[in-house]
Structure 1
Amino acid sequence: MTLWQQLDERFNTLQRREQLMIWASTLLLTLWLTFVYVLEPLWQAGNSYRDRLASVEKQHQEAQQLATTLRSELGTDADAEYRQRITQLEQQQRELTAQITQSTSHFIAAEQMVALLHNLLQSSSGVQLKQLTTAAPKAVLLAGQTEADTPLLYQHQLTLVINSNYAALLKVLNDIEQLPWLVNWAGLRYHVTDYPSADMTLELITVSEHEDFIRL
């Protein structure tokens, strides 16, 4: 008789209650073994997958936040402030250029002043040029400029001393007044040296974009 047959005979001799207990124990053992060797690994694997999924979702959220931040930063023009400043500077430059043009358009150019005076005196009979000097140029501040800014315009002053009689000197003054350019007078002095000869000192002002334009 085999072992299985012996166990079957012994099981049949048991009371109904004992048989049910054995069946229940066997079922519980089977369920427990199924849980330990099958369900538990699957459950642990499921937990692992859930943890990995949560990690991936977190990384995805962080990536979305980073993308949103980058889009926001890229949407903001980082050079806008500099371009606005450049536009303002260009506008200031145009305004200053207009001021320079307006300031110099009616004045005789500094580089023309000396040659023009020489020609004027040569055409005036009996007038002698005794002295011609220039003062240090002075910076002219335009609207919107401060003393710290680079000057864009300079004032030049010429002083000439001429000698002749009253009529000839008066003609020189009239000729200067008739010039098509505006000449500013800084001063005029008349001094009789040996009648009817007299010295007349003229201080004339012109403007230029160049600091050292007048050279004698």
Structure 2
Amino acid sequence: MQQSWQQWGEKFAQLSSREKSLITLCGFVVIILGLLTLLIEPAFEQNQVASQRIATTKLDVQRLEADILLMTAKLRKDPDQELNQEYKQLMAESQELSSQLAIMVDSLITPSQMAQLLEQVLADSKGLHLVSLESQAAQPIIGNENKANLASYYIHPVRLELTGKYFAIVDYLEALEALPAKYYWRSFHYTVEEYPTARLVLEVYTLGTRQEFIGG
């Protein structure tokens, strides 16, 4: 090793002053580049990481600004807009239901005719005894707190009580079902008190636009 350095020293001594200066300068450049690599490269890598973080932060800030703008735009709108839309939807449904009820009421027997019809069918039947035929109080189809478009519709029930034999009662019910007039059955209660006599309590109803009692 020492011999090699001696040979390099002899060769270097034989060089001209200009060649010696160039070799010395190149040596300094190599040393400086090495030092720069050791010192600057880690800092450069850290700078790249920092740059990426800055870019990510900028994106986050941009997203946040967009969210703020969107929220501001929403706040500038009517705060009750969603409620108003729901209210309009409910009103539309209420109007649709009211129209359906109007069609239904037009197809039903009127409250003033229903009790007369029940009594007429009973008069045409045999083996039956009428105990009572009463018009019940009309009831609004909805509560007072929910009037809207449906407040003008009322349920008009009629309660019929009679006695008779089983087959006579069956014939009467079949005659009621065969009527062209439309109405609804609300309740039905059949008991045998003393065979073969039974008791029937029947409640039917129709719909009307006025709160009135049915004659009977």
TM-score (norm 1): 0.50
- In the other structure, the counterpart of 2:206 is 206
Provide runs of 4+ in structure 1 moved above 6 Å: 94-97
Q: Does 1:129 align with 2:115?
A: no
Equivalence for 1:138: 139
**Counterpart amino acid of residue 160 in structure 1:** L
Asked if the contact 2:138–2:213 (Cα under 8 Å) also holds between the matched residues in 1, the reply is no
Instruction: Name the counterpart of 1:43.
Output: none
Distance in 2 between residues matched to 1:202 and 1:147, nearest whole Å? 30
| CA–CA distance in structure 2, aligned partners of residues 187 and 114 of structure 1 | 16
Shift of 1:179: 1.0
Cα offset, 1:151, TM superposition: 2.0
Question: What aligned pairs does 1:1-216 form with structure 2 within 5 A after superposition?
Answer: 98-141=99-142, 147-149=146-148, 151-216=151-216
Q: Deviations over 1:169-191 (max 9, x none)?
A: 00111011111122211111111
What is the rounded CA distance, in whole Å, between the counterparts of 1:213 and 1:181 in structure 2?
A: 19
Query: CA offset at residue 198 of structure 1?
Result: 0.7
Residue 89 of structure 2: aligned partner: none
Aligned length: 124
Deviation of the 1:97 alpha carbon: 7.0
Q: Report the Cα distance in structure 2 between the residues aligned to 1:189 and 1:95, rounded to whole angstroms.
A: 35
Cα separation, partners in 2 of 1:96 and 1:188, compared to 1, 3 Å: closer
Q: Deviations over 1:153-202 (max 9, x none)?
A: 11011111111100000011101111112221111111112211111010
2 CA distance for matches of 1:119 and 1:156? 18
What displacement does 1:96 show? Answer: 7.5
AA paired with 2:185?
A: W
Structure of greater Rg: 1
1:122-163, Cα deviation, whole Å (9 max, x unpaired): 00011111012232211124xxx9624472111011111111
Higher helix share: 2
Following the alignment from structure 2 to structure 1, what is the Cα–Cα distance between the partners of residues 182 and 131?
Answer: 24
What is the match of residue 38 of structure 1?
none
**Matched position secondary structure for 1:198:** strand
- Relative distance call for 1:96 and 1:152 in structure 2 (3 A) is farther
Structure 2 unaligned blocks of 5 or more:
1-91
What is the rounded CA distance, in whole Å, between the counterparts of 2:147 and 2:177 in structure 1? Answer: 36
Distance 1:176 1:153 in 2: 24
Aligned-pair Cα RMSD in Å? 2.8
Shift of 1:100: 4.1
- 1-structure distance, mates of 2:125, 2:206: 22
CA distance in 2, matches of 1:148, 1:118: 34
